[in-house]
Amino acid sequence: MIEQVTTFESGNEMAALAAAQINYHLMGYFPITPSTEIAQLLDQMKARGEHDIVLIPADGEHGSAGICYGAAVMGARVLNATSANGLMYMLEQLPVQSGTRFPMVMNLVTRSISGPLDIRGDHSDLYFALNTGWVILTARTPQAVYDMNIMALKIAEHEDVRLPVIVAYDGFFTSHQKRKVQYFKDRQVVQAFIGERPTHFPNASDPRKPVTIGAHMNGDDLINNHYQQSEALYRAAHVFQQVAKEYAQWSGREYPLLDLYKMEDAEVALFLINSAAETAKDVVDQLRAKGIKAGVISPNIIRPFPSEAIRQACKHVKVLLVGERADSYGAHGGNMTHEIKSALKEDPYNQTIVLTRIFGLGGKDFYPDDAKEFFNIALRTLDKGFAEKPFDYFGHMPGDPQQKWEQVIEPMYGDAFKTGLIQVIEDKETKRLKVKLPPLRALTAKPKRLAPGHGACPGCGIFPALELFFKGIEGDVVVLFQTGCAYVVTTAYPYSSHKQTMIHNLFQNGPATLSGAVEAFFEMKRRGDIQVSDDVTFVMITGDGGMDIGMGSAIGTALRNHKLIMLEYDNEGYMNTGSQMSYSTPIGHMTSTTGVGKTQNGKAFHHKDTPQIMAATNIPYVFTATEAFPQDLIKKAAKAQWYAQHEGTAYGKLLITCPLNWKSEERYGEKIMKAAVDSCFFPLYEVERGKTTITYDPEEKNKRVPLQEWLKYMGKAKHLLKEENRELFASFEQEVERRWHRLKAMHEHPYL
């Protein structure tokens, strides 16, 4: 046996370790819980110089799949990792990858797909992958995650297969639980096991051998292409067995098609994918001690589906309960139920009664007593001799009829949010708006739009900024929050911190969704279908990188110029998912995917200038603001409202502190914002009907401070002040200076 080391790690750690040992050429990724750790861990290892994988943070999962496909057609070894809606967003790309037959490996860290949004584990994402033409391996334990990640690439590249492979394991249960695991001490062993990268299949890397990849076909040809693919996928079962056998010789760990636990003479059995099967094994032991012939079947591979092995395993099983962590709505059973039933149908002598129970959705825990109850259901069915209820959910509850929704605060609308204290007047000559504000003290009379009791971190900068903005907005609002911290901490079911109507949609689609809402609202109003006041203001709120993945939707909405406001709270990272870099992270700043170490120094490129991108769509109003300049922020909100009501789209960026991930003192939030403005990193300005105005010029006020004065507050940036990072700092400083000078020129010249 080859030398292995024992360690104590989680599933995600083992996936990252395997990838580092394989030393893939490239990984394209986009952060999504609970798979994100893989990219983070690989970034850390890379900072330490432990592998050479090119890590590319994409603009969304669709982009990540594109990056991976591009690398795969080059003939490179490629890795991706995702979960839930990340898989859904890239779904279109998966059959492209398999249908054009370019191998790669993707870890699918399973999680419930929206909606409603739920970050924890079930198999609803996995079931969507079933029809993509990818090989799918299922890993029950952190050990299996490591082992299958190594086997996966060998299977994918095998000449009889040439297909991409998913390694699926349970989000949190397997991805985050630490267990004792073994790995090969020497990564060359791993590389030797997988073997040399096959180079004799066509790819795009050799100009001497030009190829056309992705020609379109008609049905006469497509059916032949798909037949090839179908055959290749079936062959993958045999290749899996071969590879697993060889792997067992190297590692001592075996992976048959089906993991069968005490199935030799089992009369009642459970079929469970992944971690739940492990829990059920303990219960089997208890039942066996009582003389009950119980067993558990759990697949190691579900694409291709091991039909023959299922038939063999169920030969003597009288009742099989298929526990499924996802439904196939309306199909009288989840996907596994139907595949098992159709496998058994091929055996004319099979008498097994098959039951389905949909359980453990959204990460709902599966306790040993749940497994016991599954067996009880199977045993009762055995007694009866038929299935009383073949299909049902498990663990759902009707709820206490006495428990009513209680209105804790009276709904607030209309005049409740009209103070009359804020006046916006259009200057007909200059074509600009003038705003009159009372002192902040007077505005404390205006109720806040959000209720206290939200779950943000202490010192969170989002809420002061949002409330200052809303102070400038008079009358009713409909808000849409894209996924992000502000959404997550204000809407944990069944609690809401929103006083007025709040709509959520996923990370990349807020602007489009709100544009539909606003147009429908006014059309229904025009037709007289709804009787409401027409001064409702529509506000889309995004942050945590939402202007990366949602950029297309934002630009489309701006170009259509709907009457709404897009408001971005910029915390310079994907803070909601654990501080991964976003395109607005400044250069050199440390995040969980741009580590600081031997071989790299934080983020590699400059921060995105979103206000300028939005200004280029020629919407009537663009602004920047921050809580450290409250009057300035409120005025801009009032202007944004005026434009959203009279002309079209307004966009605003609010810089905010994230003490947790900026590694700054909670209490200094406002000071940090002030330094960001006074150092000209974040100039306060507006672009009103195309005319740029700097609304606060620190130079004019004699308040300008060096960039260091801002950076010194933040643990994520302190290293930039060190002597050895002088060049990096200078590059940052120059970029800040360049953008500031450009802005000043725009301020001075009406046509810039």
Site for another protein in 487-506 (CB under 8 A): 488-502
254 counts as binding another protein under rule CB under 8 A: no
Q: Supply the minimum distance, in Å, between the C-beta of residue 439 and another protein.
A: 8
- Which of 69, 173, 470, 569 touches another protein by CB under 8 A? 173
**Stretches 14-22, 323-331, 396-404, 722-730: which one binds another protein (CB under 8 A)?**
396-404
278 counts as binding another protein under rule CB under 8 A: yes
CA distance 33 to 121: 10
Cα 663 to Cα 116, 590, 657, 669, 713: the distances in Å are 32, 10, 10, 11, 8
Q: Supply the minimum distance, in Å, between the C-beta of residue 484 and another protein.
A: 11
Nearest to another protein of 356, 645 (CB atom): 356
Looking only at residues 68 through 97 of this chain, which bind another protein when binding is defined by CB under 8 A? none
**Contact code string over 178-207 relative to another protein, x by CB under 8 A:** xxx---------------------------
**Stretches 195-203, 345-353, 454-462, 518-526: which one binds another protein (CB under 8 A)?**
454-462
- Which of 186, 206, 254, 365 touches another protein by CB under 8 A? 365
CA torsion, ordered 546, 550, 556, 561, to nearest 10 deg: -20
* Amino acid identity, position 370: D
CA distance 19 to 149: 7
479 counts as binding another protein under rule CB under 8 A: no
Cα 626 to Cα 158, 237, 402, 439, 469: the distances in Å are 56, 58, 46, 17, 9
**Stretches 105-113, 335-343, 483-491, 694-702: which one binds another protein (CB under 8 A)?**
483-491
Q: Supply the minimum distance, in Å, between the C-beta of residue 43 and another protein.
A: 17
**Nearest C-alpha neighbor of 708 from the set 683, 729, 694:** 729
Looking only at residues 543 through 582 of this chain, which bind another protein when binding is defined by CB under 8 A? 578
* 587 contacts 609 by C-beta, under 8 angstroms: no
* 709 contacts 678 by C-beta, under 8 angstroms: yes
- Which of 75, 630, 683, 698 touches another protein by CB under 8 A? 630
Residue 209 three-state SS: coil
- Which of 519, 670, 709, 733 touches another protein by CB under 8 A? 670
Nearest to another protein of 323, 578 (CB atom): 578
- Which of 160, 267, 373, 467 touches another protein by CB under 8 A? 467
**Contact code string over 132-171 relative to another protein, x by CB under 8 A:** --------------------------------------x-
CA distance 314 to 578: 44
b (16+ CB within 10 A) / e for 698-719:
beeeeeeeebebbbebbebbbb
Q: How many alpha carbons lie under 13 Å from residue 318 in its C-beta half-sphere?
A: 18
454 counts as binding another protein under rule CB under 8 A: yes
- Which of 57, 304, 464, 586 touches another protein by CB under 8 A? 464
Nearest to another protein of 231, 392 (CB atom): 392
Q: Residue 601 carries which DSSP code?
A: B
| 452: CB partners within 8 A, 6+ apart | 497
712 counts as binding another protein under rule CB under 8 A: no
* 145 contacts 174 by C-beta, under 8 angstroms: yes
Nearest to another protein of 285, 426 (CB atom): 285
Residue linked to tokens 């890795």: 79
Nearest to another protein of 399, 420 (CB atom): 399
| 494: CB partners within 8 A, 6+ apart | 405
CA torsion, ordered 576, 124, 60, 604, to nearest 10 deg: 60
115 counts as binding another protein under rule CB under 8 A: yes
Q: Residue 593 carries which DSSP code?
A: S
- Which of 668, 708, 718, 747 touches another protein by CB under 8 A? 668
Q: Supply the minimum distance, in Å, between the C-beta of residue 396 and another protein.
A: 6
CA distance 505 to 516: 12
Q: Residue 719 carries which DSSP code?
A: G
Opening angle at CA 138, ends 137 and 143, nearest 5:
105
288 counts as binding another protein under rule CB under 8 A: no
Nearest to another protein of 210, 399 (CB atom): 399
730 counts as binding another protein under rule CB under 8 A: no
Q: Supply the minimum distance, in Å, between the C-beta of residue 325 and another protein.
A: 12
- Reading the block at residue 256, the tokens are 């048959």
441 counts as binding another protein under rule CB under 8 A: yes
368 counts as binding another protein under rule CB under 8 A: yes
450 counts as binding another protein under rule CB under 8 A: yes
CA distance 698 to 391: 68
Q: Supply the minimum distance, in Å, between the C-beta of residue 461 and another protein.
A: 7
Order of strands across the sheet that contains 621-626: 502-505, 477-482, 537-543, 565-570, 650-655, 621-626, 684-688, 691-696
- Which of 219, 385, 420, 452 touches another protein by CB under 8 A? 452
**Stretches 305-313, 351-359, 433-441, 540-548: which one binds another protein (CB under 8 A)?**
433-441
CA distance 215 to 440: 64
116 counts as binding another protein under rule CB under 8 A: yes
**Stretches 464-472, 602-610, 703-711, 717-725: which one binds another protein (CB under 8 A)?**
464-472
664 counts as binding another protein under rule CB under 8 A: no
398 counts as binding another protein under rule CB under 8 A: yes
CA distance 551 to 153: 34
Nearest to another protein of 383, 410 (CB atom): 410
Nearest to another protein of 498, 747 (CB atom): 498
**Nearest C-alpha neighbor of 152 from the set 248, 230, 239:** 239
Looking only at residues 312 through 341 of this chain, which bind another protein when binding is defined by CB under 8 A? none
Nearest to another protein of 116, 750 (CB atom): 116
* 742 contacts 736 by C-beta, under 8 angstroms: no
Residue linked to tokens 């620190």: 698
Cα 257 to Cα 138, 459, 547: the distances in Å are 10, 52, 44
